[in-house]
Amino acid sequence: MALTKEQRALVSNLNVWEEANAKYHELELAHREELAKVRPLAQRVIDLGEITLADKAEIESIRAAYNALEPFAQEYFQNYYGHNYLTDLKAAETKLAALEKAAADQAAAQIVIDKINAIGEVTYTPECKAKIDDAKKAYMALTKEQRALVSNLNVWEEANAKYHELELAHREELAKVRPLVQRVIDLGEITWSDKAAVESIRADYEALQPFAQEYFQNYYGHNYLADLEAAEAKLIAVVAVVKESDMGYATLDEAISAAQAGQTVVLVKNVENAGNVVLMQGITLDLNGNKLSANNVLAIKGNYVVDNQNAKGILNVKGQFVLDENNGSVPVRTEDGYHFYQSNVKINADMVSQNADSFLFKFRPSLGSAELNRAILANGAADNGLQIRIKLTWVNGDTAMEQNVVFAENLVQEAYMNDMALTLGVGGLANGEQFHNVQVTAQLVSVDSNVVVSSSTFAYTGNVPQL
């Protein structure tokens, strides 16, 4: 600025100064911007607080940002307002490294912990022995610090001791096989009376350790498990047993035919499509908690159908189930299944009155006792799958007619709550052409199983009851 105007015109490289001056101001601005990076970086260090593994990415990011600073900015970071934030950053990195090492040690220990837990129940098998050995090998490969982190070492020690205990018991377990084999041989020809023995052999076989079971399956080259299964298959083929003779039969018909008066045929499994089941010789058919499906069932004159399992058996009849009025057992559905109750649907002469064109019919089926009647029928019949009805038959001209009159739930409830009879009145019978050969039968019906227990038949004569 000291040159004259003419002298200034002679300065040929003024542009160089101008460029240098601009460059310096540019660097001065960049210097300020670089220093401006230090404050937020210092704040990020302050914000780290207590170091955890979750801070790893942030610490690495701060280190990368510090390394990217110009040397003068790094020096500023190391003495920002009199405090060295690089020291704080290094302390955070040291803490993070310690945490990572601790995590790595714990992870290594956890592998061994998991291997020990995987041993599970100790059995005398190669697989179990391999798990115990594998856990030990992994434990021995750990550092001293890592071993101290294995929290379930006592579990391995107990498992190892248990395995050696089982190893000592191995010979004793194998010694059980020979007498079990002999029991299979002694079975001989299988009959139903062998059922308990076969089940006992099966239970003892199942109680053997796996290695002893394998020995049983290849005892001196012979598979005695196959012999046991063959015996079980013969028993499985049995459908019914005559209780008194303990003989089993492959069909229900065979068992019924073999049974004698006073004996009981017991079902041992469900029977489907039994056709016609006819009990003639004074025997009892015990469902034994099983299901019998048949086309028709005839059980009269001292023959019974019962269920000694009381709530499990069920009888399904597609056609008719004929029961004597004094010995009918009807299945009643309750909350816990089906129960068979001895029913009685008896009609006394004094419960019927009639005149020239009408009659009054009274009755009340019983399930064996007043207590049972109130317990099962006091809320009506339908709740327990029952139905109380009157079966009317007559001839109109040349046509046979039939009608079932079902008593309403409120009438059933009232009758059994108050020990009253159920009553049916029929009138308008004076026309003999339309109504002749009128007959009435009282019935107790198990709706689900189609079991009907009937009374004797009342024949309307117009003046005197005919029972």
Identify the sign of the CA torsion 168, 170, 173, 178.
negative
Dihedral of the CA atoms 370, 373, 374, 380 (nearest 10)? -160
Residue range 147-158: average pLDDT? 94
Tell me the per-residue pLDDT of 15-35, one tens digit each, with 9 for 90 and over. 877 677 667 677 666 678 888
In a domain, 329, yes or no: no
In a 3-state reduction of DSSP, which class is residue 278?
Answer: strand
Check whether residue 311 and residue 364 sit in a common domain.
no
Cβ within 8 Å of residue 155, ≥6 positions away = 116, 117, 119
Check whether residue 227 and residue 254 sit in a common domain.
no
Cβ within 8 Å of residue 434, ≥6 positions away = 396, 397
In a domain, 25, yes or no: no
Range name among 150-159, 178-187, 298-307, 406-415 with the lowest pLDDT average? 298-307
- 395-422 burial by CB neighbour count: b if 16+ within 10 A, else e? eeeeeeeeeeeebeeebbbebbeeeeeb
Check whether residue 183 and residue 295 sit in a common domain.
no
Final residue before a domain boundary, out of 186, 202, 236: 236
Residue 114 structural domain: 38-150
Count of other CB atoms within 10 angstroms of residue 355: 12
Check whether residue 258 and residue 228 sit in a common domain.
no
Sequential DSSP letters for 371-399: HHHHHHHBTBSGGGTEEEEEEEEEEETTE
Residue 285 zone, left/alpha/beta (φ > 0; ψ -120 to 50; rest): beta
Judge whether 430 and 322 are in contact, CB under 8 Å.
no
Beta bridge partners of 366: 344
In a domain, 21, yes or no: no
In order of 370, 374, 383, 410, the CA distances from 367 in angstroms are 8, 10, 15, 19
The pLDDT of residue 432 = 60
Q: What is the pTM of this model?
A: 0.41
Q: How many domains does the chain have?
A: 4
Count of other CB atoms within 10 angstroms of residue 255: 25
Tell me the per-residue pLDDT of 79-119, one tens digit each, with 9 for 90 and over. 999 999 999 999 999 998 999 999 999 999 999 999 999 99
In the structure, how many helices (H) and strands (E) does the chain have? 16, 19
Final residue before a domain boundary, out of 115, 150, 185: 150
